[in-house]
Amino acid sequence: MKSKLLITFPNTTGDKPIVYNLIKNYDLKINIIKASFDFNFRGSLFVEVDGSSENIARGLEYVEQEGVLADFINSTITVDRAVCVECGLCTSACQSQALSLDQEQSLVFQNSKCIGCNLCIKVCPSRAISNGVVSHES
């Protein structure tokens, strides 16, 4: 199964290869969508994790033992196609390329890339975007 996780690192874990351990010891395929760290190694990783549900659960147990927070991001935005005029202005707000215009100038939304920042909601002039049910659980 594939899940999206927001992993938040305190400044005490900078010397530990946590992502490496997740990959090596729990056989997880990790696709880093967005990374943001300061000079104190404090920051966050937004990742897509692919692996068996058992391995994902064990991996989460591991990171939490290391004092790292991991939140599932379950769902993201919904584009109401009846309201959307496909202008593409939302793509200006989307940092993760989840919203884009294709060759035909149709609006494409790739849920797997969405980081749930919700910036597009306020940018859409047609008010066609809403945040479905965004729920965070540890």
Answer positive or negative: Cα dihedral of 89, 92, 93, 94: positive
Q: Least distance (Å) from another protein to the CB of residue 86?
A: 4
- Quote the tokens at residue 84: 């959307």
Is the distance from CB of 76 to CB of 36 less than 8 angstroms? no
Contacts of residue 24, defined as CB under 8 A and 6 or more positions apart, other chains included, come to none
**Helix/strand/coil for 22:** helix
Contacts of another protein in 59-88 (CB under 8 A): 85-88
Is residue 91 part of the contact set for another protein (CB under 8 A)? yes
Of 8-16, 37-45, 51-59, 97-105, the window that binds another protein (rule: CB under 8 A) is: 97-105
Is residue 101 part of the contact set for another protein (CB under 8 A)? yes
Residue of 108, 115, 117, 123 interacting with another protein (CB under 8 A): 123
What is the contact surface with another protein in residues (CB under 8 A)?
A: 85-93, 100-101, 104-106, 119, 122-123, 125-127
